[in-house]
Amino acid sequence: MATSTPQDPAAPSASSAPPRPAALPGPLADSLVFFASGAVLVLEILAARMLAPYVGVTLETYTAIIGVVLAGIAFGTWAGGRLADLIDPRRMLGPVLVAGGLLALATLPLVRGLGELALARGEASAIVLLALFGFFPPAAVLSAVSPTVVKLQLASLRETGAVVGRLSALGTAGALLGTFLTGFALVAELGISPIIIGLGATLVIAGIALGLLLAASGHRRSVGGVLGVLAAALVLAGLGVASGSRCELESAYYCARVEVDPARPSGRLLLLDTLRHSYVDLADPKRLEFDYARVIGDAIDVLRPPGRPLAALHIGGGGFTLPRYLAATRPGSRSTVLELDPALPELARDRLGLETGPALRVRTGDA
């Protein structure tokens, strides 16, 4: 004879459990993880260029950036997973992308504002704090996307390996694309500010669109909220542009600028990141300001009688001080300059009086 076991009225029944949120379409889920992970690495690559004018390019700079961004990824992944267990993940994804976009836009005014303070202090702690305030928040928020999407896509524990493995691989692929595309192409072609503004705007717009698409009944996004987000994005982008850049020219290698010597109106100082690289006197090309340049000039005079023309190969151009010096002190000399950064000769033509021709040839690229 069969008997039934009375059910504990306090125990939740299967019918009373909240319905599981519907999974996202596969291509949409894959794209979100790919794009969010790529955005984090775009910011990490740009961090080195953004911090360079204030703290230079040193081992400490890269250590601070990598450590801070990794900490942001770890914290964001943990926090995103916890929140996805407490809140409907479909309601989270749009706001997370919007917040990540706004924080990405905020990196420009934050780093440029705080960078001047770091430049004045010049301590290792200043480098870490500059990276922390500028890049930890967007890295953490954007890293919450992956665990949120995983939560939505897991229909069964039997699929855990396949789902997590696929999304992890796509996140890594997005990070790789963001790294290579930014480092090898975008910085040299566009510069830092347009990339940051474009990335932040794309994240904000994608987040708004995703929020509207996934909004459940009773949780529709208000027009006022959307307009508020767009207004905040415009304000942050405007602040980023208004904050200005210490770079007169941004290349794939340097933040370069030319400053006038306050003690000598015709003197020009070329700075690459924080390095005083070259000094050029527009009125007197025979003047060698830096000690190393004077040593080279003296060595040339020892090897060859003064005034005799030379054929010289220069590895690196910079401000083109020495080729101009040879032309002025040894008329008829012929100089060939191998310069890695193709942007520097253009800056030297515009600001340092460089004139190329048969007596001074410039070849750019890797020697």
Q: 348 with 254: CB under 8 angstroms?
A: no
- For the whole model, what pTM was predicted? 0.79
pLDDT classification of 249: cutoffs 50, 70, 90: confident
pLDDT(250) > 90 = no
Nearest Cα neighbor of 118 from 63, 191, 56, 47 is 56
Taking a C-beta distance cutoff of 8 angstroms, is the pair 145, 39 a contact? no
Mean pLDDT of the chain: 86
Angstrom distance (rounded) from CA 230 to CA 98: 10
**What pLDDT, in 10s, does the model give residues 28-60?**
999 999 999 999 999 999 998 889 888 888 888
Taking phi over 0 as left and psi of -120 to 50 as alpha, with beta for the rest, 366 belongs to beta
Q: Are 251 and 341 in contact (CB under 8 A)?
A: yes
- For 255-364, the fitting CATH number among 3.30.70.60, 3.40.50.720, 3.40.50.150, 3.40.50.10260 is 3.40.50.150
Model pLDDT, residue 162: 84
pLDDT in the model for residue 218? 41
Range name among 16-30, 69-83, 262-276, 284-298 with the lowest pLDDT average: 16-30
Task: Say how far apart CA 287 and CA 329 lie, in whole Å.
Answer: 10
- d(Cα 213, Cα 105) in Å, to the nearest integer? 24
Structure tokens belonging to residue 122: 């010049």
pLDDT at 270: 92
Residue 226 has a pLDDT of: 82
pLDDT of 244 higher than 90: no
Query: For the chain, what are the domain ranges?
Result: 21-246, 255-364
Mean pLDDT of the 243-263 span = 85
- Residues paired with residue 260 on neighbouring β-strands, in sequence order: 268
Helix axes 145-153, 89-121, angle to 10 degrees: 170
Q: Please tell me the predicted confidence (pLDDT) of residue 119.
A: 65
The residue length of the chain stands at: 367
Q: Give me the DSSP letters along 144-185.
A: THHHHHHHHH---GGGHHHHHHHHHHHHHHHHHHHHHHIIII
10 has a pLDDT exceeding 70: no
Name, in order, each residue with C-beta under 8 angstroms of 128's C-beta and a sequence gap of 6 or more: 64, 67, 68
For the chain, the C-alpha Rg in angstroms (whole number) is 28
What does the alpha-carbon distance between residue 364 and residue 345 come to, in Å, rounded to a whole number?
8
Kind and range of the H or E run holding 64: helix 59-86
In three-state secondary structure terms, 261 is coil
pLDDT at 47: 93
Report the C-alpha gap between 282 and 53 in whole angstroms.
25
Return the biggest CA–CA distance within the chain: 120
Q: Do domains 21-246 and 255-364 have the same CATH topology?
A: no
Class of domain 21-246: mainly alpha
Task: Give me 306's structure tokens.
Answer: 């003064």
What's the rounded Cα separation, in Å, for the pair 14 and 84?
A: 21
Q: What percentage of the chain carries pLDDT values higher than 90?
A: 50
pLDDT on residue 18? 57
